[in-house]
Structure 1
Amino acid sequence: MNIRHMLVVVDPTTENKQPCLERAKNLCQHYPQARLTLLLCDYVAALDGGTLFESNSLEKARASLLQNHLKQLNELAAPLREKGIGVEVQAVWGKRLDRHILQAAQQLKPDLIIKTTHHHNPLKRLFLTNTDWQLIRHAEVPLWLVKKGEKPITQICAAVDPLHVDDKPASLDLKLITSAKTVAGNTGASLHLIHCYNPLPRTMVIDATLVVDYQGYADDVKKHHTEAFSELLKRADAGQAQQHLLEGYPEEAIPAMIEKLGINLLLLGAVSRSRLQSALIGHTAERLLDEVPCDLLIIKPDDFSDPSKPSA
Structure 2
Amino acid sequence: MKRNMQHELLTVQVVETNQWSYPVHNHNHFELILIRTGSGQHIINGNRFAYQAGDIFFLGHLDSHYFLIDKMTCFCCLSFTELYMTGLTTPGTDGWLQIKERALTTSRQLVGSIVTDRIEQQNLNALVDILLTEQKNHRPLISNQIVEALMKTILSLIDRQLAQQQGLNSSTVSAASLMQRIGVYICQHITMPDHLRMEKMADVFNYSQSHLSALFKQQAGESINQYIIRYKLQLVETRLRLSSMTISQIADEFGFTDICHLNKLFKRYYQTTPTEYRRSLFVPARVRNAYLQSSFR
- TM-score, normalization by structure 1: 0.26
- TM-score, normalization by structure 2: 0.27
Higher helix share: 2
Relative contact order higher in (CA < 8 Å, ≥ 6 apart) = 1
